[in-house]
Structure formats: C-alpha cells, structure tokens
Chain A
Amino acid sequence: MEEQRLSEFHHVVSQNRTLSSKALTIALSLITNPFTSHSTLSSLLDTLILCLQNPASNDTNHHHHVISLVSASFPPPPPTSAITFSLPSTADPFADENLFLSLCFGQSVISRRFLLRNVSKFCVKPSLLLTVLLGFTKDPYPNIREVALDGLVELSNCIVVEDQSLIEGCYFRAVELLFDCEDSVRRSAVCAVSEWGRLLVASNQDQSKKEWSDTVFVQLCSMVRDMDMKLRVVAFDALGKIRMVSEDILLQTLSKKALPATKEKTYCGQLTAKLLTLPASGAAFAFVHGLEDEFHEVRRSACRSLCMLTAVSAEFASEAVNILMDMLNDDSVVVRLQALETIHFMAISDHLKVEEAHLHMFLGTLLDRSDSIRSAARNTLQSIKLQNLAMFRLGIDALMKNLEFYPQDEADLFLVIFKLGRTHGKFVGSIIREVFQELEPSFEGKLAFDNARTVALLVLAISVPVSFERKICTVPPQTFSYAVTQLGRISRGLFDVVNQNTLLAYLSHCSRFSLVSASEFFKGEEPALQLDKSDVLLCQKSNDTSEAHLTSPLLDCLANLHDRVTSCVKIVLRKISDIWRLIELGCMGEVIQTLRSWKEELSKFTSDSPQTVGVLAFALQYIQVIKLLGKVWTRIFSSRNLRYHGMGVLEVLLGKIDKILQDMWYRFIGLSKDEELHLLEIMLLSCVLRLSYLETCNFEASLKKICTISFRVENLCKEEAIELSSFILDLQKLLCEIGNSGDGVFENIYLLQKSLKCFSLRQIVLSGEIKHLEAELNVRDNNFQNPLPFISGLPVGIPFEIMLYNLTSEKRLWLTMSVDGMSTQFVFLDLHEFEGCDEIRKFTFVAPFYGTPRVTYFSLKVCIAMECLSEDVQLFKDYEDPKPELSFLCKEIEVHLSTPVN
C-alpha cells in the first residue's frame, strides 16, 4: 500500500514537475501515517526538495505547502540530516535568500518555524539572518520567538558583529524575553542573554567591559528563581560561563540580605517585565537558592558553576566553601560528587581554606557508601592543605576509618596517605611518634604487620623523607625496614608514584641509617648521590599529572646505586634474625605469613645475572629452612602433648630441614666462612633437635653425626679466627662432657635439650658471590601424546638436552632414571667429555636405559643428581654407582616411551 502510494506520488510529480493538490494529498497521507517506513519518507523528501529547487515553480504559495510538508515529516527521526537545504536555482546566488525571506515573511507559521529552526542549512548572509532573527523575537507566536532566540544563540557563535548597537539590540531584546509568559521562550532567552552578553562584554574595553560583565551576571542571577526547572539549570550553566565578575556581586550571591557594597548599585537591565533597572541586589542568594533546589539537576549545575567562579575570587571561594561542605550531605550522589569536584578544584586553584568545622562534614564523605564518592573525597583530601596538627590527625583518623570499613579501598588509600604525608611532613613526624608502638613488633601481643592500619601508618611514615618539610621530620629508620616487609602491599598502592623496585631501594636506603633521620642523611652520606635540595624537592605543589614522576628521580638514583636484588635479599636476611624472637614466642602464624610474603617478594625478581640467581636461590632456601625450623620449634616448645602427638610431623619436618640444609651445603659454592659457619650451626641445631626429641633411642649414631659437624666447625675455626656463638660453644663443651662422663643417655639428652635454650638465630650476612649449582634437563618433543619409541626388553637410548650451571668438571653428576620409583638406573655424566665452561655447559647426551619393562607404554622419571662429596670423604673414581648421599640439581622430568604401533 505504502509503495503503491509512493509510486503514485512520483508519477503525479513527474508529470508536471510541480506539486498538484493530488500529489500533496498523497504526500501528506504518507507523512502523517506513523507506520510509513524511513525509506519511503526519505524518498518522499528527496522528491519534495527537488520540487522546491524547480525553477519553474516560483510560486511562494507552492513552496509553503512543500515546506510545511517537509517540516511535518520532521518530528519522527527521519534521515533528513543527509539533506542539505540548498534550495537555490543555479543562476542567482540571491535566490536562496529571496526564497528564504519570502517564506519567512509568509503567513504560514509552520514554515516560518521550520525555516528558523533550520537556519544554518540555508545559505543566507549572516547580517541578513541576524536582522531576520532579531525581528522574529517580536513574533506573537511563542514558538517563533523561541526558535528565533535559538537561532541568535547559534549565530552568536559563528559571526563577528562589529556594530555595538546591534549587539546591544540583540542582548536587550533577549533580556526582555526573559520575562516572557512561555517557559520555553524564557529558557531560550537565558541562553541568548548569556551568549550575546558574552559578545557584548567582548566588544567593550576595560572598565566598561567589567561593568557589562557584572550586568550580564546579575541579569542571569535574576532568573535563578524561575519556576521552570530546566530554565534554572540553563541559568546556572550560563552563570558558570562568565569569567569576570566583581567580588562584591559574587559575595552577594551567597548572602540573602543586600550587602552594603551592592546596595546602591544598579545596572542596565530588567528586574521584571516592567522594572527596567536592575539592582545589584538582584543577585542575592542566587547560588544558595540553586544549591538548595529541589531538583538535583539544578543543584548540580549550581555546584558546577560555583566551581568555575571560585577561581575568580578567593574571598568568594572561602565563603562558598561553607555551603559547599553542606552539599556533601546532599541525598543525590551526583550532587555530592560535583561538590567534591568543586572543592577539589578550589583546592588546586589554591582558593580553599579549610577550617576544622568544615572537616567534620567533609571527612564524613570518606565513609560514604558510594565508591565514587569515597574516591573523589580522597582525591580531594590529598590536595587540601590542613592547617594544624589536630586537623591533620582528624584527616588521618578518617582515612583509617575508611580503611577499616571499606578494605577494598586500600590501594587508593595508601596513595592518598602517602601524598598527604608528603605535603604535611612535620605533622607526620609527631603522629608517627605517637603511634610508634603500634608499628614496633611487640613481644607481648601479636605482630600486627598484616594489619591494614599498621601498613597505612607505615605508608604515612615513609612519605616523610620526600615531603617538603624534610628537615624537621624525624621518623625512626626502623619504620622503613618494617615497611619493607609490606613492600608488595604498599607498592600496589603507590603504583602511580613509584614502582616496586624503586620503592624497595628507597626503603632500604632510608632504613640503613639509625639515629640520623633518613632525610638528613640524603645530603651527606654518599657523594655519588649528589642530592642537593633541587633534587630532593621533587614535589612541587601537587599537580596530578606531574606527580607521577615526582619521586622517581630520587628513587631511580637510589636504585642505580645498589643492586636491587642483593639489597633486597640483604634486607630480608637481616630481618629474619628478628623473626626468630617471634618464633621463640610461638607466634608462628605471623611468622609464616611474613616469611611467605618475603618469599613472594623475592620470587618476583627475575633472574638476570648469575650472581643474583645464586643469592636469590640461597635466600629462598634459607627462608624455607627458617620456616621449617620455626614450625619444629613451636611444635616442641609450645605444645604440651608433644609426646603423644605430632612425632610423625616432627620427623617429616626435620627430614625436610636436613634435606634443604644438605642441598644448601653442597649446591652453593662461594660461600664465605661466616656463611658456612651459619649453615653448620643450623645443621647442628637440627641434629640436636632430632637427637633430643626424636631419636633418643638412636643416641649414639645421632651423636656421632653431631660430632662430625662439630668437627667441621672446628676445622673452619682453625683456618680463621671466627667468633663462635654461645650455642656452639656450649655444645662443644657438652660434647666433651658426654664423651668423658659415663652418665646415662637421659641425662645427656636433658643436657642437650638445655643447650637448645642458648640458641638464637644470628644474622646472616651474604658476601655476595654465591653461585648456585643447577641443572636443566629436557627431552625434546616428548610428551604423553608424543612418546619415544622403544621395544620392550631391549635397551633404549634417550636424547637428553642438558644445561649445567656453575658445575665444575670435578663434580660427579649422575642421571637417575627410574620406572615407577622402583628400580633406579644411574648413568654417570663425565663432565670432562662435554664442552662449555664451568659457568654454563650445554650439551645433548644420549643416555641408555636398559631395564625397559614388558609393557607397551611406560614413563621414566629422570633427574640429575650430584654426589655430595665432603672433605672428609675419600675421593675415588667410580662409574658404577654413586655415593649414597645425592643432591638433586633439577626438577624431575618425565620421559614417555611406548612401543611403536606396526
């Protein structure tokens, strides 16, 4: 039906190239039918436009019909945006204008409205257009007045008007229409007043410019009490656009009573439809009205323009802050958010002066339910300057509360605390002093390192050295080392400011200096640092964009000075001796958590140089040993029913310890005497533990082992004068006594148990050059789905790709191959046969496996093991079987073999 009508229309039109009444009827019927498709409509429109362009039809009446048809088809969203209304016939450039004018001044209101609405689509001279639009603001039809004003607004943006009186004319005409009866006209008039007011201000100079700007401002203020909500929004938006307003007028907008400064002033404008003078007091309370409005749209708009205007006057800003703080109590989230943004803006434009009374309301937003509000509040807080310690404390307390109620904000909070601390360095010092006990690992209660509050306080503390008031601050340096224990957590928060490695370097640097404050130290300590004031005063007044890079130069500098990994390991190892006390107290939960976090930190480092690989591996294993020891210790000394429970567990633990210690002893080379002694001491401890609590029945054999180790210790001491720990001395004495006396086993065990009391973990200091013996083993292209072929019963050769690190050719390596963990076959790897240096050796080795089982498929577990050759064991070459003590150098791999099918 639709298509039928359309084709009929086209037919009629094509006959005489103009629209007959019949064609018009058809077109109208199509347009008014709401079910007409877009394609039909656009086709129809195209034809209509063609008719308009037809030079033959110069009858305006005819055009009116067409235009009203076109405009009638506008309300539904038609594809008209594609249509350009270039109506002119080709010859005469003024034809467009003439047609436009004749249509405008015709009798049809619809087409007039349509033309004015789409004014930008016609090529009409701006000067002419301006006159026409200005004229039509007098039209008796409100919708024409409205579109004329809209047109003027549009025009004001794209033309330059030099005639002052013309601008004035437009402006005052718009002012008149501010008091129109129609809401929509008033709304458009507000826009027009705003825009033409802007032109008016721009066309004046100096003093009169200022006067005009005030005039426009007050004029717009008179509209904020209109009953139309949208109008109020527009009015406030317009107010926010004004860039120049006298301070007394701005202040008037916050006061209901006429201020003395504005009492007598009048401007050129209209207060009501009849009153043709505009008193300055017309601006009274404008902003407060807006902020109190019933509609959140208006409140938000008012808040936003307030934001813009606070930049104009500091005094206004300080007044406005009172009511803005109240806006934080608004029930609408968008308004609260805007209020926070406004406060933030004021803070960064340095027009914010927060008093203690405000802070209560402001800090309340940190506990807001909405995430975005809390985030905005924190964002604002970090740029606020808090006047005194009490206020700063309030702020920190509120942040802590935020952390307590909404732990999910942690990362962001840390950043804010850090920044806040940096800008308020001198307050941080006194706060940290107060809460220092909380930070110290306490021995009565539990260590609270994992407590979010503690971490937050640590963050606060570590912000001091980079603060502006560095000189005054005093934060105990151990705080920095405590902070290291929470490195991951903290660095997640401070991600924007500094990366983890740099942070670590920074912390370890600061923590090194006792007594002297870290900040003081930056200057004197290392000449290489060359940190004079200009370097350290990195943080210029907070400006978010630059802030990201602020601290980095300093910290990067630190990072370059130290090998990051080694320093990190050193810090961790140093801390471990502190941990021992906790173990003694039985706080195993905390210890395990702390150790685990350290391990995580360390394992994040990627191994880039052979030295660091060794150090890292050593540290990791060391931590593991301490952890296991701690578990044993608490099991023995804290649980009362040890005799009946947990012996099995104890055995497993001690077994693990022995294994790791042995590994450490044999697989690390380049250990210093100190380090060796340390390891031996732990070995002794482990043995004594085993002897006195586990293997009491096997006393003699165990004692022998202790003696062996003790002998090693003595050997070490012979070469160099090393101070032995009280535990070793005590033990040596004891061993002599046991050897000499004929006391019973139980007395001896008691004595040994007593000697354990002397043990305390010493700090291990790494000399640095530790190498880790390691191997990598791989069989190429072998997996479950892609097995190697074999024939059962016959030997099979397996091609291994082997990488060896730090293994000298003297080391005796074996390939251990086992099926189902039952029978193990050893193949000797003679390192002399393979190329490569000691540091790294890479080769392929085809190892024969003899005992292939009688199955179609089996898997072989292969590993590289090293004979543990201690000095006291006689060396002899043997390619048959390895010595019983083996240390595995790599992870066990699985080799899949299967008989080939056919």
Chain B
Amino acid sequence: MAIECLVLGAGQEVGKSCVVVTINDKKIMFDCGMHMGYLDHRRYPDFSLISKSGDFNNSLTCIVVTHFHLDHIGALPYFTEVCGYNGPIYMTYPTKALAPLMLEDYRKVMVDRRGEEEQFSYEQILECMKKVTAVDLKQTVQVDKDLQIRAYYAGHVLGAAMFYARVGDVAIVYTGDYNMTPDRHLGAAQIDKLQLDLVITESTYATTYRDSKYAREREFLKAVHKCVAGGGKVLIPTFALGRAQELCMLLDDYWERMNLKVPIYFSAGLTVQANMYYKMLINWTSQKVKDTYATRNAFDFKHVCSFDRSLINAPGPCVLFATPGMISGGFSLEVFKQWAPYEGNLVTLPGYCVAGTVGHRLMSAKTPAHINIDQDTQIDMRCQIHQLSFSPHTDAKGILDLVKFLSPKHVILVHGEKPKMATLKEKMQSEMGIQCFDPANNETVSIPSTHYVKAVASDALLQSSLSPNLKFLRKCSERGSDFGGLDARTKPRLKVFDDRMAEGILMVQRNQNIEAVHQNEVVAMLGLESHEIKFANCCPVYIANSETRNVVLSQSTVDKSFWLRLLFEKLSSKFPETSIQDCGERLQIESFSVSVCSKEICPHRTTANLQCMPETMYFCCTWSTADEKLAWEIISVIKSLSLRDK
C-alpha cells in the first residue's frame, strides 16, 4: 500500500500549485493554479498526466482548493469548463465567495489590457463556481465512502485553509499557503495534532528566518506618523485583499490610540467590496477581530473617511489606500503622479514588485529622482519611499514548527525555490528525522503508508485490559547520580509500564480472522504446556570451625534454620533496599530462593564431583531469568561467607 504524489505544479518553483495524491485508488487534486509568469501552455498544469484519455471525471475523486490566489485556483475554470471535469470541488466559503472576483479581475486584465485570447469567459467562471461545494472550518466532509476531508485554518489570506484528507487508515495534510504568525486581521494557522503519514507543505521561505513582526509594524507606523505630522500625504498602494485590511487596521488602531485626526481614505473599487466580505466573514479573521466583534466590527474602520477624487489635491495631511499595489496603472498611479513631486509626502511599496512596474522602479530609486512613467511622462520624484516587508507566508521556522507539531512520517515540499527547498529538506531530515522530498514538476513520489489490520480481541484480553497493570522498572544504578553521567542519550532509570496491552498475543491462523488473545489463553488454545526456565546453583560454603561443623552436622535438622537466619542477616546488610522474605525453609528475594541443601548429591553443584564435601555447607539457589543479575550478586555474597561463627 502506498501514497502516490504526482506534482503537477509548484514543484521546485512558485506558481500553479497542483498536486494529485492517490491513496487507495482515490485521486485527490489539491489546488488547481496557474503560473503568472508564463503565457504559453506552461501556464497550466499538465493535466494529461492525470488521465491520458482526458476522462478526468472517472480518474479524479475530487478537487480541493485551499485559497483564492490565482496560483492556487487560476486553472480551475479552464479545467472544469474547457477540460470538462465535472466532479466535486471543495473550497471554504470565503474562497468560494472571493474566487470569482479574482478570476474575473484576472480575465479582464488579460483580455482587455493585453488583448489576449481569453482562456475562459465570465459565464464559464460562474458555471465553474456552481460545481463548488463550500466547506467550513473543521467540518468533516465525507466525499465518498472512503474519503474524508477536513479544513483547518491557515491564516495567509481570508478563507485560506489547510486540508486534511483520510482514506481508510492513511491520512495526509496538504497545507496550501499558510502563516504561522498572526497579523492584525488574520490569525495564525491552527491545526489539531493528527496521526499523519504525509504532510505536503509550502516552502516559499524555506531558508528565510524573519524577525519579529513588531519591528516591521513600528517602522511603518513611524514613517506614516512622521509624514502626516509634517503635514504630508501618504500613498499606500496595496492589493485589494489582505494587505490593505491589515495595514488599515494597524493604522486605525494607532490613530485611535494616538488620538490622530488625519483622515484615512480608501480608494473605491475592489477594496470596498473586499471590506464587505471581511465584515461578513468575521469568523475567518484573527482573534482580536473576533474579540471586539461584539462591540464593534474591526473592519468598520473608525478613521476611514469616504473619498472622492477632489480630495486628491485637498490641502492638509491624509493617508490614502489605492489599488493596484505595484503602481502598475490605475488609480494608485494617478495619485502617485500628483503626490510624488512633494518632499513631505510618502509612498509605501509592497514587499515585492514585478519588474516593469513603477513600483519596481521605485524600489531601486533614491529620492530625488526622475521616474519614467511611460515614454512620454517623466516625474520629478521628491517624496519619501518606504518599503513594506509584510508577508503572509510563514518562514522556515514556521514550517519546521508545524512539521514538528504534526510529526508526520513523511514530508513533501512544494511551492518554493529549488535550492532553498533542498536546504530545508536536509534540515528536516537531520534535525527531526523525518523523511522529506522535494519533487520537481511532473514527478511522482511514492510513499509507504500505514495499513491497519483489524483483529478480534478475545474476552479474556478485553477483561484484563480494563484493569490497570502497572510495572515499574528500575535500572540498577551503575553510575552515580550526578548529571555528568546522565548523558543526553541515557534513558531515565525509572520507567513505568502498563502491561495490559503487552499481555496480548496476536494469533494469525489460516483461514481464520486475526485474533488478539491474552497470553494465558494461548497455551490452552494451542494445546501446549507452559514451560518456565529456571536457573539453579548449589553453592558451597566452607566451615572453618570443625567443631561447630560436627555439632551442626549431627543435628542437621534442627539447625537448618540457624544457617538461614545467619544468611538472612548477612544479606540484609548487603542489600538494604531489597526486601528479603524469610519463609522458614528458604529465603525468598524476588524470584530468587535459597535453602540449605542437605542432599548428599545435588545436581546443581558445580564443583568437580557432586558429592558432599566435608566441612562445607551447601546453599541451594534457584531463580528465574528476570532476576539473573541479582541472583549472581547474592551468590557472590554467599560464597564469600565464611561460617566461623560460634
């Protein structure tokens, strides 16, 4: 039994996430994204690898989409409407709500601006969305008889989820993109401790160790505050979803606390609509938003005022959020042109700007500078530039923390750059001992999976396992109790066992069900006798004083107990910790028992002849395997006895 992982996208790269996992004949496609960097066939995952015939409906059990970013969902309309997939599709409610917006936006940009041939129409997007089943967090969905999926909160963007999938005994988690540290508007990823065979995780920042988010926030607030305090205007070009809300919340909070009265504006468009979704989907936001929700919706920004175009050149300081994020055109560019020439103003840039956008040019520019907007326009830029470094992806520590928490048997890394993934893979294998893979696109990884066999438990075993059966094992202290001796690899000396399960024995008989029975039953079941291995040694002790010996030997029956008492005292002083039972005829220490041997010939004697030697007492000892070590210690004590008393 094995898990087959076919990586169709995001293998050793970022873009077009798509992994097809096969578990016990169930084929699940996780994400169906497109690559934004390509315009040819490489833009979509190579779906033909799933099924040569193109009969996706029969070959795929379901599609699971983690969040609404295009590199995770972009190819979905194409796959359903063009390639003809009609099976079930699962995504969270917010994703289902926001995905059409994103797809339509993208389609428009492609068709209207770049004049490309359209890959799918708006109707097709809607049609595709009709096939989607929305799921809630931690809601277990029974896709079919064998397959269960469940969504967990992933942070990252609104509605992003990690997905747990289980087929029979095999369980995996596909993380999608996630964030392990919360930001102002979204929480940190949250998942249960699960028994997993495989975790497929993103690794965008496989080698980055990001510092505290507070430093980033502080820098940002300081820059903005300084600007508005000096009467300047702040332009914050952002993507409509996520970053805008996060930053605005940060500012709104700060404004509130610092009692600032400077207006904050949102440019119209997608942002306003997105805000509406945020307000509705409060359950998907951070704890703080949820906490304050009863009194105030945190997305009802207190200091955000309505905006119209005439305010662009209104006097006085203000803060303006405008789309698009990279100042590639549209409203943010328009405002930028107006505000850039003034020294008091500030423009913030998102952490990442695509080459060719104005934002990208600004990143490398030093004020004052001349910025070419296009062939005809040049701007004399004098305003301040502040670069944001907020990211909704977790860093290497976060990935390791998640994997450590889940402790799966295997890990597959996707959605990252190849050399960095290799580093992380090494780290994971060496530090955590978890086998890790970083397949390239179109490669398949095969992973052995857990397979549980059902066994019937016998009544006796069930009965016995109800009652605790504790055992403590104390290792003999060979070393002193100082720390130096307790090397990192030493186990603690005292261990606890509950043997109720260990008493079970698995019986696999031909043509019968597998059965777990209690060990006591086995003998009867198999019709055998039980045997116990015992050790014995008859230990001679030389009696120095012959007079005593004579007396003793003549009245042997009387004084057997005398010798035993003598031995008892000796042993008690030697082994103060162990309990020694005096049973009259013999002494009992654990399973070790010793008695005076009066036989002429004893088979357990190791001396040359088994005959009774003169002037010698014999102690006959028996013990079982468990106490072997103890036994030899006692025997050495007995041997060293010299009975010269009396």
Contacts and interface: CB of A to CB of B under 8 A. Distances in A.
A98 B320 CA distance: 76
Interface string B210-230: 111111011001100000000
Nearest to B490: A268
A276 to B, nearest CB: 7
Given A135-B470, A212-B483, A326 B193 contact: no
Contact of A256 (B397, B466, B486): B397
A294 B287 contact: yes
Interface string B476-495: 01000111101111111111
Nearest to B481: A164
Nearest to B192: A227
Contacts of A104: 468
Interface stretch (A327-335, A458-466, A600-608, A884-892): A327-335
Interface stretch (B129-137, B179-187, B349-357, B546-554): B179-187
Contact of A136 (B193, B211, B405, B468): B468
Contact of B483 (A171, A211, A271, A332): A211
Interface in B188-209: 188, 190-193, 195, 209
Question: B253, B467, B494 — which one has the most chain A CB atoms within 10 A of its CB?
Answer: B494
Given A139-B498, A326-B218, A274 B474 contact: no
A105 to B, nearest CB: 5
B114 interface: no
B46 interface: no
A364 B291 CA distance: 25
A287 to B, nearest CB: 10
A225 interface: yes
Given A227-B191, A256-B210, A273-B407, A204 B483 contact: yes
Interface in B516-549: none
B39 interface: no
Question: B222, B401, B500 — which one has the most chain A CB atoms within 10 A of its CB?
Answer: B401
A368 B258 CA distance: 6
A208 B483 contact: yes
A342 to B, nearest CB: 14
Contact of A169 (B256, B395, B467, B495): B495
B215 A326 contact: yes
B163 to A, nearest CB: 16
B405 A226 contact: yes
A138 B498 contact: yes
Interface string A118-146: 00000000000001101111111000000
A295 B488 CA distance: 35
Interface stretch (A277-285, A752-760, A782-790, A865-873): A277-285
Interface in B488-514: 488-498, 500-501
B254 interface: yes
A268 B486 contact: yes
A356 to B, nearest CB: 13
B472 interface: yes
A207 interface: yes
B474 A165 contact: yes
Contacts of A132: 470
Contacts of B184: 331
A274 B493 contact: no
Nearest to A169: B494
B433 interface: yes
A405 B259 contact: yes
Contacts of A331: 184, 253, 288
B404 interface: yes
A266 interface: yes
Contacts of B472: 131, 134-135, 169
A515 interface: no
A275 B405 CA distance: 12
Given A267-B488, A367-B259, A296 B288 contact: yes
Nearest to B497: A138
Contact of A207 (B187, B483, B488, B496): B483
A140 B498 contact: yes
A294 B188 contact: yes
A596 interface: no
Contact of A284 (B397, B432, B481): B397
A105 B468 contact: yes
Contacts of A717: none
Interface residues of A, number: 71
Interface string B228-254: 000000000000000000000000011
A166 interface: yes
B286 interface: yes
Contact of B181 (A292, A326, A405): A292
Interface residues of B, number: 69
Contacts, number: 153
A271 B484 contact: no
Nearest to B468: A105
A295 B290 CA distance: 11
B257 interface: yes
A288 interface: yes
A323 interface: yes
Nearest to A278: B488
A645 interface: no
Contacts of A208: 482-484
Interface in A285-309: 285, 288-289, 291-296
B407 A326 contact: no
Contacts of A289: 181
Contact of B214 (A135, A183, A292): A292
Given A295-B287, A331-B288, A268 B487 contact: yes
A285 B397 contact: yes
B491 to A, nearest CB: 8
Nearest to A272: B407
A393 interface: no
Given A135-B472, A165-B492, A277-B488, A292 B213 contact: yes
A332 B298 CA distance: 13
A329 B257 CA distance: 9
A364 B258 contact: yes
Nearest to B256: A369
A579 B328 CA distance: 68
A189 to B, nearest CB: 13
Contacts of A165: 474, 477, 481, 492-494
A273 B194 CA distance: 13
B432 A272 contact: yes
B487 to A, nearest CB: 7
Given A139-B468, A140-B501, A369-B259, A326 B209 contact: no
Contacts of B254: 329
Interface string A76-112: 0000000000000000000000000000111100001
Given A138-B496, A271-B404, A285-B397, A369 B257 contact: yes
Nearest to B292: A331
Contacts of B404: 225, 271-272
Complex A-B, nearest 7 residue pairs according to Cβ-Cβ distance, in ascending order: A169-B494, A326-B214, A208-B483, A135-B470, A294-B182, A138-B498, A107-B466
28 contacts: A107-B467, A135-B468, A135-B498, A136-B470, A138-B498, A139-B498, A140-B501, A164-B481, A165-B474, A165-B492, A169-B472, A169-B494, A171-B492, A208-B484, A225-B401, A225-B404, A227-B192, A227-B193, A256-B209, A267-B488, A274-B407, A275-B433, A292-B182, A294-B188, A331-B184, A361-B218, A364-B258, A367-B258
Interface of B: 180-182, 184, 187-188, 190-193, 195, 209-215, 217-218, 221-222, 253-254, 256-259, 286-288, 291, 395, 397, 401, 404-405, 407, 431-433, 463, 465-468, 470, 472, 474, 477, 481-484, 486-498, 500-501
Interface of A: 104-107, 112, 131-132, 134-140, 164-166, 168-169, 171-173, 179, 181, 183, 204, 207-208, 211-212, 225-227, 256-257, 266-268, 271-279, 284-285, 288-289, 291-296, 322-323, 326-327, 329, 331-332, 360-361, 364, 367-369, 405
Given A227-B192, A256-B211, 6 more contacts: A135-B472, A140-B465, A169-B494, A227-B191, A296-B288, A364-B258
